[in-house]
A and B are shown apart, each in its own frame.
Chain A
Amino acid sequence: MKMVNITIDGINMQVPEGTTILEAARQANIRIPTLCFLKDINEIGACRMCVVEVKGARALQAACVYPVAEGLEIKTNSDKVRRARKVTLELILSNHDRECLTCVRSNNCELQKLSKELNIRDIRYKGEQTEHDIDDLSLSIVRNNNKCILCRRCVSVCQNVQTVSVLETVNRGFNTKIGTAFDIPLANTPCVNCGQCIAVCPVGAIYEKSDIEKVWDAINDPDKYVVVQTAPAVRVSIGEAFGMPLGSRPTGKMVTALKMLGFDKVFDTDTAADLTIMEEGTELMHRIQNGGKLPLITSCCPGWIKFCEHNYPDFLDNLSTCKSPHEMFGAVLKTYYAKKMNIDPAKMVVVSIMPCTAKKFEAGRPELSAAGYPDVEYVLTTRELAQMIDEAGIDFVNLEDSTFDDPIGEASGAGVIFGATGGVMEAALRTVADILSGESLPVEKIEYTEVRGVEGIKEAQIEVGGKVIRACVAHGLGNAREVLDRIRAGEAEYDFIEIMACPGGCVNGGGQIIQPSEVRSWIDLIVERTKAIYAEDRSMPIRKSHENPYIKKLYDEYYGEPGSEKAHHDLHTTYQQRANYPLDN
């Protein structure tokens, strides 16, 4: 790598040629404000918030996209630069709905922060303001273009990372906006509800459809028995909302907070993840042993499921018929548990706290209702939980720990790693290996590190119990598309594939606490949160799903064995091809 000499604000330094001014400045501990920039996802130099003076250049240059060359002299905080940034920001603000007080992103908004930093006290431009309708017809995603600053991060993530491509910049000039084809509501497009657009939006222009009020109502209804469950990935992000460092896992505090909010029972979705493994592992073994449809593809991610229904209907038979873990849990609660505890399932309300927006849509699928009621009534994101904790005045950081409720309380480490890419695969392998080999493999043999890690597509040939399983793990729908296209073209063959819609899996789900570009661009959220997931796995006394005593009991008392008729009725589901836009039929 060729190094070049540059000067930033009088500091001489050496950096690799081609480094952007923004990155070089960071190395010199100089912060340049940015707005549209999000590393690796949106590097398009659109907003001009990051302008700097480059000696010899006539105009100011956008630091986020300007590559350094030998001898470059840069000024990042001259009067000219400061004024230019202020004008740019005031122009953006002049066409922005500035109701911060009632905005979902207040206090976690990149635009608000910038206005404070750049000392904006008055907006000198009073131009015409565009007015947009709010699109809130989707069960998962709300779009409010009145808050949009046209940074295009959502478009980039939807098109380039997810390859769903329902968001686009439309119209021109003053009428430019982020929209869908023909302004069709997101609910009627092939949007998969992954919420990655929410996670990257710097402002409050995209957010989840909130179910907080409905959950408060249920909690306050004395007739209702309100049960809450939390997904594995929630515990490794929730702390961020309360100023805890990335990678914290305040599981015990989270449970305490949930109890304080007034839920009747607090359960761990991980337990259901163990159940999923029993069912899915059995399905895999059956398909391998009886010449069934392969590859088997995991079904715990509703973002991926909808993507498949829209774009790869020819793979619907490859999908595992297992419901996703939280839906399985809902089904168990309203059947087995209701009976056992003598609770009328009609009075039971199941709330799932998820790192995910796609699960809001999933909960509305009519086919997911084992006991004649929805398996899960409401899905709240990690962010919504943090909001409720705030609303209740709970001092999260200083809470004592408590543990999940029995009898469906304990989970195995296998259930926990569901939250990370490769986790479902690994959990399944732990169980399948034991069953096929007829022995209980020791701890040092159950960490399948080849399926872990942040690489977009991971492949491995794994020997379990004398059989070689050709495995593939893909996360991010662009990667999923690549794998499926290869299979369609006959270029690849697998037995078992794990697909998660969100890059990194659920730890980086669209419902997690939002980290601004300034953090996300330089620290890998996925790595930090994933470390916490595997630490939690290692801290668990039981690390394989089939060794979870509660799961054993559930089969002994109720379902008989994995894949039984009863299990099929309650724990499995069906899929359907979906139209991409209303006119397709």
Chain B
Amino acid sequence: MGSSSCSCSVADEKLLKLQKIIEENRNKKGALIHVLHEAQTIYGYLPIEVQKVVAEGMGVPLAEVYGVVTFYAQFSLKPKGQYKISVCLGTACYVKGANLVLQKLDEELGISVGDCTNELRFSPESCRCIVACGLAPVITINEDVYGRLSPNDVPNILAKYKE
């Protein structure tokens, strides 16, 4: 159960927590979204194992659970890394070569937008204008902002978060 980095007892603890939430919401109308939200808080994301527990517990077909999860942007099928990297693809950044920065980032991490690196460190995402257009092109890593980037800056920036 849960993400691969968990030890068994932690996994059981998470499962128990989820089951308790399901128990409390089982017969409530429209509670599915709430339960999924809680499940995501517990596990960080909603892999098939978790969705199956929810589906069986709530008495809802798995396909329906999956339909809800893929409909709402708030839910994620993939784990999120420790560092969320947002690459602004707003107009100003785009014009200044944000897509090249993004390309370099994908190359360096070996994954693409929406995925997460194996050791659960980085999750790159694209985003809309974050109103730092003067610094275009811009990326943020959690709270930190990096501006006036060229693709060559990317490896050095990532290195800071690899300790």
Contacts and interface: CB of A to CB of B under 8 A. Distances in A.
A168 B63 contact: yes
Contacts of B51: 181
A172 B77 CA distance: 14
A169 interface: yes
A197 to B, nearest CB: 13
B163 to A, nearest CB: 35
A136 B73 CA distance: 30
A168 B66 contact: yes
A167 interface: yes
A581 B70 contact: no
B40 to A, nearest CB: 16
Given A171-B71, A181-B51, A165 B61 contact: yes
Contacts of B52: 581, 583-584
Interface in A152-190: 159, 165-172, 179-182, 189
B48 A181 contact: yes
Contacts of A169: 67, 71
Interface string A239-256: 000000000000000000
Interface residues of B, number: 16
A170 B75 CA distance: 13
A391 to B, nearest CB: 36
* Chain A interface residue number, banded: 10 to 19
At the interface, is chain A mostly helix, strand, loop or mixed? loop
A182 B64 contact: no
Interface in B70-122: 70-73, 77
Q: Classify the interface of chain B: helix, strand, loop or mixed.
A: helix
Interface string A574-585: 000000110110
Contacts of B154: none
A495 to B, nearest CB: 30
Contact of A182 (B61, B66, B73): B66
B62 interface: yes
B67 A182 contact: no
Contact of B71 (A165, A166, A172, A181): A172
Scoring B49, B67, B77 by chain A CB atoms within 10 A of each residue's CB, the highest score goes to B67
Interface in A189-228: 189
Nearest to B47: A182
A500 B77 CA distance: 37
Contacts of B71: 169-172
A415 to B, nearest CB: 37
A169 B65 CA distance: 11
A168 B48 contact: no
B157 to A, nearest CB: 31
Interface string B35-75: 00000000000001101100000000111111100111100
Given A181-B48, A181-B51, A182-B48, A581 B62 contact: yes
B49 A181 contact: no
Nearest to B65: A181
Interface centre among B51, B64, B70, B71 (most CB of A within 10 A): B70
B62 A170 contact: no
Nearest to B73: A172
Interface string A256-283: 0000000000000000000000000000
Contacts of B66: 168, 170, 179-182
Contacts of A581: 48, 52, 62
Interface of A: 159, 165-172, 179-182, 189, 580-581, 583-584
The 9 closest A-B pairs by CB, nearest first: A165-B61, A168-B63, A168-B67, A181-B66, A181-B62, A170-B70, A181-B63, A171-B70, A172-B71
13 contacts: A159-B64, A168-B64, A169-B67, A170-B66, A170-B67, A171-B71, A172-B70, A181-B48, A182-B66, A189-B63, A583-B49, A583-B52, A584-B52
